Structure 1
Amino acid sequence: MPQDPQTQKLNFSAGLASVSVAGTLVVLKLWALWATGALSIAASLADSAMDLLISCAGLAAILYAARPADEDHAFGHTSVEDLVSLGQALFVAASGAAILWTGIERLIAATPPDLADEGAGIAVMIVSVLLTAALVFWQKRVAARTGNKVVSADMLHYVGDLIPTCGAILALWLSARFDLARADSVIAILAALIMLRGAAKIFVASWHALMDRAAAPEVIRSIAEIAEIWPGVRGFHDLRTRTAGAKIFVQLHIELDGAQSLEAAHAIARSLKRAIIEAHPQADVIIHMDVWQD
């Protein structure tokens, strides 16, 4: 089922906003890192650099996934969302591991590194928080209206980014106010652990989707409840689902009265299909009709 133009436009706007914000933050944090030398800013910069790669890949995935099914991709192109998410997870994990290693080295060093111009660094981080919060607000609105998996995942990722960014502000403030330079390394390590945890969650979710894992239990239960009470359906079996990106593929066998006309049987199947799609707009539904046996 191809996306309508309004849905495509909203998803594209969210992806473009993500790329724009990530690019702006990379430039600002590069300058802040040069001015301060703070590892916590380096952690935040690495996260923003990963965000830029992820956002670019996400925007490409949004555009590609919106393409309708064709001869070579009869079930559409939405699996690209899961493939891109898998790559994103590996990038984030590598970045988090590098920050974690450097943070531990600095923490156990005999002399903590000197930080400079903490005020400038704090100013950049505050701008980063404001830009990220505005982006999250827009992505949340788009995800609520379109249900796009890439936009939703990107939104959650940027919500997680607010934590290390606020941590960098705290580290710079502690260094400037109390001369606690080691706080920078501690907060960078915590930020790296958060990045690794997020990467693991993204990787697992994408892996399951690429392995054709069934839809969430509540979705399967909802479909079964609709079929169970649908007028004209005497029973059902072989309810199967799989996910690909934002789509849910559903196959269902329903049992119908064999004495009724073929036209009446098809009418029941069509109405049931519409009801399932109305409850789950991202569903692609195939219904098989069998003769009910008493």
Structure 2
Amino acid sequence: MCTGYQAARKAGGAFVTKTMKIAWGSLFVGILVLGIKALAWWMTDSVALYSDAMESIVNVATAIAALMAIRVAAQPADATHPYGHHKAEYFSAVLEGVMIVIAALLILHEAWQSFANPRPLDAPLSGLAVNLVASVINGVWCWILLRTARTERSPALAADGKHLLSDVVSSVGVTFGVLIAIMTGLPWIDPAMAALVALNILWSGWHVIAASLSGLLDESLPEDILVELREVISDQAEGAVEAHDLRTRQAGTATFIEFHLVVDGAMSVDDAHVICDRIEAGLLERVPDCVVTIHVEPEHKAKHSGIVVL
């Protein structure tokens, strides 16, 4: 049997420097934006701006959770965790989704209280200007997070970026809502916008949780990538009889690929290993840092199905 155990160790630490820097940056940006939005709320007493500030509290808390998860996930494989610690990021993403839902419920409660007892806004234009600064900062950082999450394949950063994107959308909606409330003189528009923000946050939280659960349940790679992997195995397995029972799973930044390779029963171990190395090199070219496990079997184990060797 040929394995990629060393690749599992490398996959644990190859991405740590960049993602850790981004995670620390998220914490700094979250605290900065929280302060700016809290100032905007204090200036206006707007429940919609309160909802915006409340979401920033979640941003700070989840940035801390993501930072801790990335530190754990970056640890290399060891004797007690031979497949690495990559799934720690998924737990962070689930926690973030739960906290998003809690924040949304708190905002809905505050919106209802404000709707039942409407109050006029104080210095609304100045508060909106301050809040706009926070929205711009969030927008720029959201773009950085999502781009890094794609290149580094980090579930924690992806969850953080998606939540921040919902925060930017919410802030834009809040700004327009408060402006409409100012122009029309209708105080109920302010809590109505807060309620819409809460519903948007709930939707975002659900998607974050659902995506994280897929990772925790060892979801396979997408079908289009599986097709490419089969082609790579077929092209690089010259000398073997067939390959079957291909299985894949993702755990944070790591991708695990496993299958059975049938060879002539008289083939030497060295020759079989050469074929395994060739296949593994091809798979690594298609999926960098993947961990490949190949079960070599004699010809009488052939199933006459699966991947045809060219």
- TM-score, structure 1 normalization: 0.91
Could you list the per-position Cα deviations for residues 60-92 of structure 1 after superposition, in whole angstroms to 9, with x for gaps in the alignment?
Answer: 111221111112211111110111111111111
- Aligned-pair distance for 1:269? 0.7
Does residue 130 (structure 1) correspond to residue 166 (structure 2)? The answer is no
Q: For 1:229, what is the secondary structure of its paired residue?
A: helix
Q: Deviations over 1:30-85 (max 9, x none)?
A: 22212211111111111111011111111111122111111221111111011111
Task: State the match for 1:9 in structure 2.
Answer: 17
Shift of 1:180: 3.0
Is 1:118 the counterpart of 2:124? The answer is yes
Contact 2:30–2:59, Cα closer than 8 Å, also in 1: yes
Alignment of structure 1 residues 99-248 onto 2, 5 Å: 99-107=107-115, 109=116, 112-232=118-238, 233-248=240-255
Bigger drift between 282-291 and 160-169 goes to: 282-291
Runs of 5+ consecutive residues of structure 1 not aligned to the other structure: none
* Amino acid across the alignment from 1:210: L
Deviations 1:138-189 (A, max 9, x none): 2244234322222222222211211111112112222333323222222211
Distance 2:272 2:14 in 1: 35
1:251 and 1:122 map into 2 onto residues whose CA distance is 55
The residue aligned with 2:96 is 88
Partner in structure 2 of residue 24 of structure 1: 32
Q: Which moved more, 1:274-283 or 1:155-164?
A: 274-283
Query: CA, structure 1 residues 180+222, in 2 after alignment: closer, same or farther (shift >3 Å)?
Result: farther
Tell me which moved more, 176-185 or 32-41: 176-185
Q: Distance in 2 between matches of 1:199 and 1:150?
A: 13
Of 1-10 and 160-169, deviating more is: 1-10
Task: Decide whether aligned partners of structure 1 residues 116 and 178 sit closer, same or farther in structure 2, where only a CA change above 3 A counts.
Answer: same
Q: 1:261 is matched with which residue: 258, 268, 276?
A: 268
Aligned-residue Cα RMSD (Å) equals 2.1
Q: Does 1:70 align with 2:78?
A: yes
Q: 1:231 to 1:212 in 2, by over 3 A?
A: closer
Q: State the 1:135 CA deviation.
A: 0.9
Quick one: structure 1 residues 140 and 94, their matched pair in 2 at CA, closer, same or farther if it must change by over 3 Å? closer
Q: Distance in 2 between matches of 1:218 and 1:103?
A: 45
Give identity over the alignment, percent.
Answer: 24
Instruction: Report the Cα distance in structure 2 between the residues aligned to 1:243 and 1:67, rounded to whole angstroms.
Output: 17
With a CA cutoff of 8 Å and minimum separation of 6, indicate the structure with the bigger relative contact order. 2
Is 1:252 equivalent to 2:235 in the alignment?
A: no
Q: How many residues matched? A: 292
2:21 and 2:186 map into 1 onto residues whose CA distance is: 42
Provide the rounded CA distance (Å) in 2 between the counterparts of 1:216 and 1:86.
21
Structure 1 residue aligned with 2:50: 42
Report the CA distance between 1:5 and its aligned residue: 7.0
Q: Which residue of 2 aligns with 1:273?
A: 280
1: CA distance between counterparts of 2:209 and 2:190?
28
- Stretches of 4+ moved more than 4 A in 1? 3-6
Per mean C-alpha deviation after superposition, the further-off stretch among 124-133 and 145-154 is 145-154
**TM-score when scaled to structure 2?**
0.87
Equivalent residue of 1:72, what SS? coil
Secondary structure of the corresponding residue to residue 101 of structure 2: helix
Provide structure 2 residue ranges, at least 5 long, that are not aligned to the other structure: 1-7, 303-310
**Corresponding residue number in structure 2 for 1:61:** 69
Per the alignment, in what secondary structure is the counterpart of residue 116 of structure 1? Answer: coil
